[in-house]
Structure 1
Amino acid sequence: MGERVYFDITDIVRFAGSHDRVAGIPRVHFNLISHLSRTHGGEVVRCIFHHSAARGMVEFDPSSLFADDEFDASTLLQRLGLEAPHRYLPRERTIKNYLRRFDGNKPLRAWKKLDVHVSARWLPQRLAAMGLARPVQVAPLALHEVKALPPGSRQVILSIDNAETLQLAREHRARGGDVVQMVYDLIPQTCQALFAPERIREFTGWLDQIVALRPRALCISAWTARDLREYIGNDAADWDIAVVPLAHELDGFERNARVPMPASAEARLPSAPFVLCVGTLENRKNGVGLLRAWQQVIDRLGERAPDLVFAGRHGWHIEEFLSLMKSPGLAGKVRVVESPSDHDLAWLYGHCLFTAYPSLYEGWGLPVGESAWFGKYCVASKASSVPEVCGDLIDYVDPHDPADIAAKLLAALADPALVARREAAIRAAVLRRWTDVADHVFRCVVGTGAAAVLAPTASPRAALS
């Protein structure tokens, strides 16, 4: 048996308590553990997390828990002994997410809620047509209490801001153990105007504890590594910081796939031509800027303007976005596909005209890479790490300038030949799979780490092959 590596997944367990599907960093956690456990097995790759009911750290073999292609929150929580499902109703959170689309019509919402309960009890096929399903009972995994990690083992912290995880890491480090921290971004520190003061204090407090611990660090982009070094200051030269770029792949789908529309999603997915923007609906993703740019597209093209489709769960500070979306100039030309499944996303990527991603700040930019995975051109933000994802394969805009965003969108809509040329180059490029990322992470963890540092690059064809 090789050296055991313990991956802390406290964040994804917490995330599952309030969400049905993964996106962003929780998706990174899920994909990494899925591929690592398949490749190295549960005797080498172990998972640990803070168990709220047991009030302590526990460990388990993840090889069966992460075997599915798509994350299922209810299954994960049942297997970890954290949730007992209803006999026939979907999770309460799942039902609320489904009903959110009817919030503007209270009588209709009440009727739809009754419909869910009746269908779950007696009409499971009708329930499936809503995109919902009865819960499936699964057996719990064997969990083992963790007081200390074995000598010679390695602890990889995928989570952030968890006191019990950090305490275990301090104790492991004090006994000579190796500790590695995955660093995704420092956005609450670098973009404080986008966050509440309490969140900034929480994040900065966690970050200061990480600096004091001084683990080896794996950063998901050269930009994030730069931000981390700037925060550490003069001592950064003594740190072991490696860059492990994330994948372009939407796990579970081959490149350039064109999947059929899910039968349960026909009412939610667009039928008219559309431009796609994927990501959690939050202020940092700059939905407001994209809507203002799209208003200019409509002003120029009139009825010839395609639809704009946002795909993602509702996040925070989106009051202005929701209000603007309902304004007379945009109503009927903009829609949201909330909390899409992976199959929904694959269909949306495959059938869109192209994608847009004008985020204000990122640690990587998963939707930009996923767009390329499906052979699609993207109009993306030039801010922070985003240009590292696809380099010169796509075009970039100033996310703070709606006029610049609109100009690039209009250029793409006016010149299909330009988009076709870009997409031909994208299809010919070498892109990165999640197996590549998992292998890279594992080599960094069990190797020297410093040798795995990648030079910043503008092109994935040069650095990610």
Structure 2
Amino acid sequence: MLWLHLSNITYVARLTGIPRTEYETFILALQKRNAGEKIKFCTYCADRGFIELGTQEVNDIVHRFESIQRDGLNHYYAHEQSKRKKQRCLKNFCKRRWNKTKLSIQKRIHVLNRYFNKFYYPFSQGDTIISVGLNINSKDMNELAYIKQKKSLYIKVFCHDIIPISHSGLVTKEAHEKFTAYFQKLAKIADFFYCNSYYTQSELKNYLKKNNCKVPPIEVVPLGSDIKIVNSMQNVNESIKKVLAEKFLLFVSTIEIRKNHQVLYEAYSSLIDRKIENLPKLLFVGQKGWMVDDLLKKLSKDERVQGKIVIFNDVTDNELALLYQHCLFTLYPSFVEGYGLPIAESLAYGKYCLAANTSSLTEVGQDFIDYLDPTNVQAWVDKLEFLLCYPEYIKNKENKICRCYCHNPWNRSAQIILGK
């Protein structure tokens, strides 16, 4: 039996990076299961261990993301907030307290059952378990290690990157420690790895050898970048509608120190000081992440960039597609990546990208785009000024992209992961 372990999409609302990879694999696996193939879904619960997800639970995941796409994230968050508000009322207080206490008791019972080898799991001898997501707060890999002592399981894991270990200065201390502990356990039980790039594959091999772990088979699976052409403005945020009518540059990424929004802030500030005519807006599209409080404070207080650098979070797939379709070009100055999905998405939409010359980014962008040192602010200033003054250069680049670039559909990535 083939099991797909869901560790992210059971609780997230935004399909970015790792959750997107897990979701697309899940959708293809569901299609295959409905066509008669032997595929089951499972997830890990702290109080019960690994459990099989039934038809209703699987359908709930599909419907949740369909409703988010249809109605927008704001509608989803409003609905969730309304639910929480009802739960706060006095009559539900005791129930919530009891549920919390019960959960704590169940967790302890599960730990005891595991200690006495009496815990439940749905797997059988010889089953294959594929884990595409990643949840460093979960004990799922610890649990799999226990189960693997009892059953002969073949465990296939997707390694998106090991950046919290290899570049610990770009994440919080807590994230570094949690990821390191999680990955140490994962590395010991994995029989097969998928990696999203040859860069990640090389980093993974070096880590395994350095830590005296076995080096199992590793297959590189480039991530998907499906093209979604959107013409309707239905359910599009009013602020985004307004931006779509103007000229703008696009940087799609979680706003965290590793992604290097700082170099674009400094470069754009310099362009504003140079009084470049008709300077387009610069859009940062993504949620707030680690270690960017100082940057966000600067953006809010620097009068030069007010109305020029705009942040959007909670963007739906349709809204993101519209932004890709209408931007002048995209930017991606990240210090290090496991893959660099927004570059692949930019190219899939036929859009030129100016990116950092680091890690996997040159692998993803190939010779279709240009690259700069992510630490050289002046290089970004000069290149941006050139691109804005000579749009024919971008047009020539995009003509080549449209002629020669072949995007990798998510379906193909998922097919490789599922081994079908």
Change (3 A) 1:182 1:281: same
Distance 1:93 1:22 in 2: 23
- 2:232 corresponds to: 260
2:129 and 2:154 map into 1 onto residues whose CA distance is: 6
Q: Are 1:308 and 2:302 counterparts?
A: no
CA shift in 2, pair 1:186/1:89, >3 Å: closer
CA deviations 1:99-158 (Å, max 9, x no partner) are xxxxxxxxxxxxxxxxxxxxxxxxxxxxxxxxxxxxxxxxxxxxxx95141222201122
- Counterpart CA distance in 2 for 1:93 and 1:379 is 42
1:60 corresponds in structure 2 to 53
Q: Give the deviation of 1:73 after TM superposition.
A: 7.2
Structure 2 distance, partners of 1:95, 1:399, is: 43
Residue aligned with 1:408, SS: helix
Q: Deviations over 1:31-72 (max 9, x none)?
A: 1211232234375232211235x5322112576455569465
In the alignment, which residue of structure 2 is the partner of 1:50? 44
Q: Which moved more, 1:272-281 or 1:319-328?
A: 319-328
- 1:232-288 Cα shifts (integer Å, max 9, x gaps): 1265774211111111225xx1xxx35333454123441321001111111111111
Give, in angstroms, the shift of residue 189 of structure 1.
0.6
Comparing 174-183 and 145-154, the one that deviates more = 145-154
Contact in 2 for aligned 1:148/1:172 (Cα 8 Å): no
**Separation (CA, whole Å) in 1 of partners of 2:146 and 2:320:** 40
Please point out which of 162, 174, 179 is paired with 1:186. Answer: 162
Question: How far apart are 1:329 and its partner, in Å?
Answer: 1.9
CA distance in 2, matches of 1:187, 1:71: 32
Whole-Å separation in 2 of the counterparts to 1:27 and 1:441: 14
Code of the aligned partner of 1:304 = N
Specify the alignment match of 2:223 in structure 1. 246
Q: State the 1:297 CA deviation.
A: 2.4
Superposed CA offset, 1:414-459 (max 9, x none)? 211111111112122211000110111122xx7xxxxxxxxxxxxx
Q: What is residue 121 of structure 1 aligned with on the other side?
A: none
Q: Which one of 128, 138, 145 corresponds to residue 154 of structure 1?
A: 128
Look up the match of 2:262: 288
Partner of 1:106: none
- Give, in angstroms, the shift of residue 202 of structure 1: 1.3
- The secondary structure found in structure 2 opposite 1:239 is coil
Maintained 8 Å contact 2:141/2:186: no
SS of aligned partner of 1:12: coil
Retained in 2: the 8 A contact 1:49–1:165?
no
Q: Which residue of 1 aligns with 2:94?
A: none
- Normalised to the residue count of structure 1, the TM-score between the two structures is 0.73
Task: Write the mapping of 1:29-428 to structure 2, written as runs, cut at 5 A.
Answer: 29-41=22-34, 43-52=37-46, 55-60=48-53, 64-65=59-60, 67=62, 70=65, 90-92=79-81, 147-160=121-134, 161=136, 162-172=138-148, 175-233=151-209, 238-249=215-226, 253=228, 257-269=229-241, 270=243, 271-326=245-300, 327-428=302-403
The structure-2 alpha-carbon separation of the partners of 1:297 and 1:32, relative to structure 1 and needing over 3 Å to count, comes to farther
- Closer/same/farther in 2, CA of residues 427 and 263 from structure 1, 3 Å limit: same
Paired AA for residue 32 in structure 1: T
Q: Secondary structure at the match of 1:329?
A: helix
Please report the RMSD computed on the Cα atoms of aligned residues, expressed in angstroms: 3.0
The counterpart of 1:6, out of the listed 3, 7, 20, is 3
**Structure 2 residues not aligned, in runs of 5+:** 86-118
- State the alpha-carbon separation in 2 of the partners of residues 264 and 247 from structure 1: 24
Whether 1:22 and 2:15 are equivalent positions in the alignment is yes
1:48 is aligned with what amino acid?
C
SS at match of 2:310: strand
**Cα distance in 2, alignment partners of residues 423 and 211 from structure 1:** 41
Does the Cα contact within 8 Å between 1:260 and 1:347 map onto a contact in 2? no
- 1:90 maps to a residue whose letter is H
Q: How far apart in 2 are the matches of 1:214 and 1:156? A: 10
CA 1:215 to 1:166, structure 2 compared with 1: closer, same or farther past 3 Å?
A: farther
Once residues 194 and 340 of structure 1 are traced to their aligned partners in structure 2, the CA distance between those partners, rounded to angstroms, is 25
Which residue type is aligned with residue 360 of structure 2?
S
Q: Distance in 2 between matches of 1:329 and 1:32?
A: 44
Q: CA deviation at 1:74?
A: 12
Tell me the SS of whatever aligns to 2:371.
Answer: strand
The number of aligned residues is 373
- Secondary structure at the aligned position of 1:155 is classed as strand
Conserved in 1, the CA contact under 8 Å of 2:141 and 2:182?
no
Distance 1:191 1:378 in 2: 24
Contact map agreement 1:357 1:379 (CA 8 A) in 2: yes
Identity of aligned residues (%): 27
Q: TM-score, normalised by structure 2?
A: 0.81
| Distance in 2 of aligned mates of 1:237 and 1:208 | 12
Q: Partners in 1 of 2:254 and 2:400 — Cα distance? A: 28
- Structure 2 contact 221–417 (Cα < 8 Å) conserved: yes
2:91 matched residue in structure 1: none
